[in-house]
Amino acid sequence: MDERFSILFEPVKIGPVVAPNRFYQVSHCNGMGYRMPRALAEMRRIKAEGGWGVVCTEEVEIHHSSDLAPNIEGRLWDDEDIPALELMADAVHQHGALAGIELTYGGHHAANLFSRSTSLAPRSMGLDGFNPGQARRLDKEDIRNLRRWHRAAALRAKQAGFDIIYCYAGHNLALAMHFLLKRYNNRSDEYGGSLENRTRFLRELILDTKEAVGGTCAVAVRLAVDELLGDEGITHQGEGHDIVAMLAELPDLWDVNISAWENDSATARFKREGFQEKYIGFVKSLTSKPVVGVGRYTTPDAMLSAVQRGIVDLIGAARPSIADPFLPQKIKEGRIEDIRECIGCNICASADELSVPIRCTQNPTMGEEWRRGWHPEHIPPKKTTAEVLVVGGGPAGLECARALGARGYQVVLVEARREFGGRVALESALPGLIEWRRVIDWRLGQIGKMDNVSLYPGSPMTAEDILDVGYTHVIIATGATWRDDGVGRHQWKPVKGHDLPCVFTPDDLMAGNIPEGHILIYDDDHYYMGSVLAELLLQHGCQVTLATPAPLVACWAEYTLEQEHIQRKLMESGVEIFTQRLLKEIQPGKIALACSISDQRSQIDADAVVLVTDRLPNDEFYQALKSAQAEGKLESLRVIGDAEAPNTIARAVFSGHLAAREFEETPSDGTPFRIERVEI
């Protein structure tokens, strides 16, 4: 280990327990929760195996009247929920790490769609997330009950084996934070009015929890010290500072961040490493207790600096621990170049938002540790001496070649372009996406250590060439091409005028063919591409209008927590936006649109149109080689990534990894992964 980083491996006392080092996996959602306890336990276990000194749960509901459905979080409603959480605590303890649990009561954020209970809040107010209905104002008996429920949950958490038990007041997701906020708390009793009164409920939770489990378990507070709302909310110079000052020595640990979740977990497109330091840096000056903070720290130097400068005592991480569960171990072993750095895309967050198991662009094993038995650092060795030709060096091809190489196979990876990376090489050059380049760089770095993987950039091939080189195992990863006819989710026929010279695709712009003047972007893709192309055109001096059939710009980016960031940036940049609009016809200088609801027509003057619609898989090689396989000229043939079905980069990486894992394995007739089923 580089001695510079030895401070990161010092133990840290947290109340009655001791963390073995300063690497702290803060609570993060994962889409598995109470529904998949075995998968969840194994995922967390691998984090502990990888060297994280503290490994925490996600939000864990303390009562059925705080049901967070449709999101799949943890549950500790009663004693029957203890065994599932005990699985995780035991798994984490196997490797000497501490297990933390984030107890939560969601207030008006919990719509209780599953339990059908009445939601409770400091005042009568609408439920979060545009759910119809309102929460009921808590009375004094409700508050006494809540304290009792939280205490009971703390005792259950202790019984389950947890070492650190949270009182949660962050992300605008927890009742304890709702009491703190003037815009939610208009009470005139001892729980409202002054900041001291609004802090009373959180103080009581801390004291109750310490009385219940203190001396055995550490009691932590997770607090949002700034909401980025100015005078409308908590700020680190105002009430955030004062709340910490009031409660400074009560908890055993402060876990501090900013709110809401979309700010705390901002994507790399909008925030860089360590971005929260200016908000949380004051906390250590107010308390003698250890402080943990996040900021998507991915590099050892940034982590070291945060500790040495007195910003934090423990390096908090959610996304970096997902991208590389073995990040601490690699630092300890001096293998810095092997760290699989987070790219800040928030595909992990989308899984929780969609209530499916967690996934990661960089780490295709995330969420598959129990289901498929995948480990991020180990892969089964080769079965035979077979040699494999992988055609296409984008994210799917690179990951497939890397994983096959790790298994020990002889692999040749050919790429038509001079540079490996495919779509990632092109997209990472777009505004705000430079960190996505890590998808390429890490894989090329790992392949560079393998004598059994050969790289051939600048090597375009035909189907005949593939057969002539004599490889009998071929994997096609040739990507996809953006359509130039407007066909997409909302239109099944080519748009009239699509063949005019004023029509461009994302591929054109990424190749440097930039139109001039007033440009209309028609976005029927609904993720990031339309908006980053708008930024690119703005950088080239264009006037930009964006039209989409969706009700929001970059609609799917709601799941990656960046939709509002995207729309705000476009609006602030002067981009004119039209939602719920279909593209009807393209004429020189004129574009016809129609409302997707009423069909009311409108016209926009524009010099060019950029069509961001569907993509066409480049599967010509695969289709041409299928007959050769049928004739026995190939032993195996597989198509992966966007060449199979265009999707996210994360899906392409997963597809490449899956192909490498399944190579020469006997296919299953049933479901190829384990499912946690209810026992009848």
Give the end-to-end CA distance of the chain in Å, rounded to a whole number. 51
- Under DSSP, the state recorded for 74 is E
Query: What's the pLDDT score for residue 1?
Result: 79
109 is catalytic: no
Contact 302, 601 (CB under 8 A): no
Contact 538, 575 (CB under 8 A): yes
* Helix ranges, 228-280 (H): 239-247, 261-264, 277-280
Please identify which of the residues 67, 128, 255, 264 carries the catalytic annotation.
Answer: 264
DSSP notation for 89-112: HHHHHTTT-EEEEEEE--GGG---
Query: What's the pLDDT score for residue 669?
Result: 85
- Measure the CA–CA gap between 20 and 431, rounded to whole angstroms: 40
Query: What's the pLDDT score for residue 260?
Result: 95
- Measure the CA–CA gap between 386 and 576, rounded to whole angstroms: 56
Q: How far is CA 288 from CA 15, 310, 324, 465, in A?
A: 11, 12, 31, 68
Please identify which of the residues 168, 409, 471, 528 carries the catalytic annotation.
Answer: 168
171 is catalytic: yes
Contact 343, 438 (CB under 8 A): yes
Q: Is this model's pTM higher than 0.85 or not?
A: yes
Q: How far is CA 268 from CA 250, 298, 531, 599, in A?
A: 35, 11, 15, 38
- Measure the CA–CA gap between 347 and 545, rounded to whole angstroms: 27
Query: What's the pLDDT score for residue 678?
Result: 84
Instruction: Give φ, ψ of 224 to 5 degrees.
Output: -85, 115
Tokens 């208009």 belong to residue:
186
Other C-beta atoms lying within 10 Å of the C-beta of residue 303? 27
Mark the ranges of the chain whose per-residue pLDDT is less than 50: none
Please identify which of the residues 171, 236, 565, 657 carries the catalytic annotation.
Answer: 171
484 is catalytic: no
Can you list the domains of the chain with their CATH numbers?
Answer: 3-354 (3.20.20.70), 387-479+618-662 (3.40.50.720), 485-615 (3.50.50.60)
How does pLDDT run across 488-511, given as a tens digit for each residue? Answer: 999 999 999 999 999 999 999 999
168 is catalytic: yes
- Measure the CA–CA gap between 351 and 363, rounded to whole angstroms: 14
Phi and psi based region of residue 486 (left: phi greater than 0; alpha: psi -120 to 50; beta: remaining): left
Please identify which of the residues 28, 29, 241, 526 carries the catalytic annotation.
Answer: 29
How does pLDDT run across 449-471, given as a tens digit for each residue? Answer: 999 999 999 999 999 999 998 89
Judged by DSSP in three states, 330 sits in helix
Query: What is the sign of the dihedral through the CA atoms of 375, 376, 381 and 385?
Result: positive
Contact 508, 519 (CB under 8 A): no
Query: What's the pLDDT score for residue 668?
Result: 81
Tokens 């001791």 belong to residue:
18
Q: Is 544 exposed, middle or buried (0-12, 13-18, 19+ CB in 10 A)?
A: buried
DSSP notation for 182-216: TTT----STTSSSHHHHTHHHHHHHHHHHHHHTTT
Smallest Cα–Cα separation from 46: which of 317, 329, 296? 329
3-state secondary structure 18-66: EECCCEEECCCCCCCHHHCHHHHHHHHHHHHHCCCCEEEEEEEECCHHH
Query: What's the pLDDT score for residue 679?
Result: 82
- Under DSSP, the state recorded for 232 is G
